[in-house]
Amino acid sequence: MSATLYAPWRSAYLKRNIDAKCVFCDIVDRRDDKSLGVIWRDRDCFIVMNAYPYTPGHFMIIPHKHTDSLESLDPQVWLRMSALAQQGVELLKDGFGAEGVNLGMNLGRAGGAGIAEHIHLHLVPRFGQDTNFITSVAHTRVYSTDFDKVYEKILSLALEYFTAT
């Protein structure tokens, strides 16, 4: 048995014009970081909060270069993403209190990517109690904290944990 939990705030994402500019490239071009949920930028990458997080503090590391192909990404950019991932894990564990972290990339639609046209690396903080009866029984996730407060907390830690290239 499963339940339906309505999330009308996702309508804009689901109804977006697929032919429109890439959502991540839009973030590269715009500089209103607070409204976009950006917590870090450097010459190769940016880090942005996931607008539809699995758990509080879920963010993504994204190269500025628009590509759907990890194998064609400049190796230096991949190294930069990896370094930011290490720093991000430290931020989530030491600064945010995560008990564990999942890292992942879904490459291509068939690989599960929601935004397949621009690669991105997810960092998902995990907590001992982040799966409960509603997740297990009702196949529904509940985000139990205010998104803006989580963004402000992660943003306040960014300068401490992320280093410039």
pLDDT in tens, the chain (165 residues): 454 444 554 555 445 454 568 999 999 999 899 999 999 999 999 999 999 888 899 999 999 999 999 999 999 999 999 999 999 999 999 999 999 999 999 999 999 999 999 999 999 999 987 765 555 445 555 556 788 899 999 999 998 999 876
Close Cβ partners of 18 (under 8 Å, ≥ 6 residues apart) = none
Close Cβ partners of 163 (under 8 Å, ≥ 6 residues apart) = 87
Domain at 19-159: CATH code: 3.30.428.10
Distance CA 30, CA 33 (A): 8
DSSP letter at 92?
I
Q: Show me where the domains of the chain are located.
A: 19-159
Tokens of 25: 């490239």
